[in-house]
Amino acid sequence: MWAMSVRLLTVCTGNICRSPYAQLALQHALDTVRPGGFEVTSAGTQALIGNVVDGGSAGILTSRGIASDTFAARQISEQIMGDVDIALPLEVSHRKIVLSYSPRHLKRAYTLKEFARLLDAAGEREPWTTRLAGLSTVEERWAALPAHLARERGLNRVPDGVDDIADPYRQPQEVFDRMAAEVDAAIERIVAFERQFD
């Protein structure tokens, strides 16, 4: 049974740089188009449990008016995965770990970049408004998405590394800025998908 909101989980290694940035930025963006429709959380495969968002990511969020002060890193677990509709890891290697905790997420785990790329590719093949015609709620739409994206994944192979977003941990600020730009580009496409159904 689906909850009243679609539950998304972003995943990286330490859960202090990439996945909290993706979590908070995606939540912020989805709230602008579908308030209350989504609940975005995050976890790490080797989480620095209890840590705050790394300064490199927090600074970018703050500059956009997105608060990160209540965030605390947490370790991915079977229990966390039990509450997730779609997992959005930041690297293909994280996806494998996600599936080790929850094999049933096979068609419901995509790297963030892959998810955005497949949304676009599938939409070009057949408009989403046609594909998902008759599904009026956000929950119904997102419950139907994985079947379409899993098919698209088979038609849309890309070279290794294309769908990964590099880890900026302990790197200069420009590496954080690059990471944020890649995450933002994917978020823009996810939000554009949802906006079609206004």
Q: What is the pLDDT of residue 193?
A: 97
pLDDT in tens, 113-124: 999 999 999 999
Which residue shows structure tokens 């990964």? 164
Q: 87 and 4 in contact (C-beta within 8 Å)?
A: no
Q: Indicate if the pLDDT at residue 1 is higher than 90.
A: no
Q: What residues have CB less than 8 Å from 11, skipping those under 6 apart?
A: 19, 42, 43, 44, 45, 76, 87, 88, 89, 90, 94, 97, 98
Q: What is the pLDDT of residue 52?
A: 98
Q: What is the pLDDT of residue 85?
A: 97
* pLDDT (mean) for 85-112: 97
Q: What is the pLDDT of residue 103?
A: 97
Q: 33 and 5 in contact (C-beta within 8 Å)?
A: no
Model's pTM, two decimal places?
0.96
* pLDDT (mean) for 134-158: 94
Q: Indicate if the pLDDT at residue 4 is higher than 90.
A: no
State percent of the chain over pLDDT 70. Answer: 98
Per the prediction, the chain carries an average pLDDT of 96
* pLDDT (mean) for 147-156: 93
